[in-house]
Amino acid sequence: MGKLLILDSLTVGVVIVNQNEEFTYVNDLANKITGYSIDDLKNINQWFAEAYPDPDQREKIKNNFRNQVKNKKSYNHILKIFDKNNEEKYIEFRIKPLKNGHVMTNIIDVTEKKERQKKIEYLSFHDELTGLYNRHYLQE
């Protein structure tokens, strides 16, 4: 079984960029999560422009990515992106600089988890029937 076939069978999206920040590999699940294939976007600048329409947020995320990669640090974070259909999604990014100057990113869609978290948080401070703040909110 080839290496790429193994990456295609993983339960997380996998994206690999080279030292020039060009996409060299995007597995099927990453394509499904974001809507973008390797034919749609050629480099991470195009990705940042599509996923983060707000220019200030985009620059902050891009600079953080480049600083972490430059320092060869792996890191994880959850960010809200816009997919190819312009739908909001919460994505967990697990970014790992590789020895050859490439960067591998695992992508996990955590949108449902974040929505459940928001609902639980809302219900912990609001009456389910009336929607008004409850005693727990007033105590906080």
List of E strands, 19-74: 23-26
Q: Are residues 21 and 59 in the same domain?
A: yes
The answer to whether residue 7 sits within a structural domain is: no
List of E strands, the chain: 13-17, 23-26, 75-82, 88-97, 103-109
* Domain count across the chain: 2
Q: Are residues 72 and 103 in the same domain?
A: yes
The answer to whether residue 87 sits within a structural domain is: yes
Residue 30 has pLDDT above 60, yes or no: yes
Assign residue 96 a region (left: φ > 0; alpha: ψ between -120 and 50; beta: otherwise).
beta
What is d(CA 40, CA 19) in angstroms, rounded to the nearest whole number? 19
The answer to whether residue 105 sits within a structural domain is: yes
The answer to whether residue 6 sits within a structural domain is: no
pLDDT value, residue 8:
72
Residue 131 has pLDDT above 80, yes or no: no
The answer to whether residue 3 sits within a structural domain is: no
Range of the domain at 140: 111-140
CATH number at residue 56: 3.30.450.20
User: Side chain identity at 138, as an amino acid letter?
Assistant: L
pLDDT value, residue 132:
77
Q: Return the closest-CA partner of residue 58 out of 41, 46, 67, 68.
A: 46
Q: Are residues 68 and 134 in the same domain?
A: no
Do 90 and 79 touch, CB atoms closer than 8 A?
yes
Q: Are residues 48 and 102 in the same domain?
A: yes
pLDDT tens for 71-122 read: 999 999 999 999 999 999 999 999 999 988 999 999 999 998 888 888 888 8
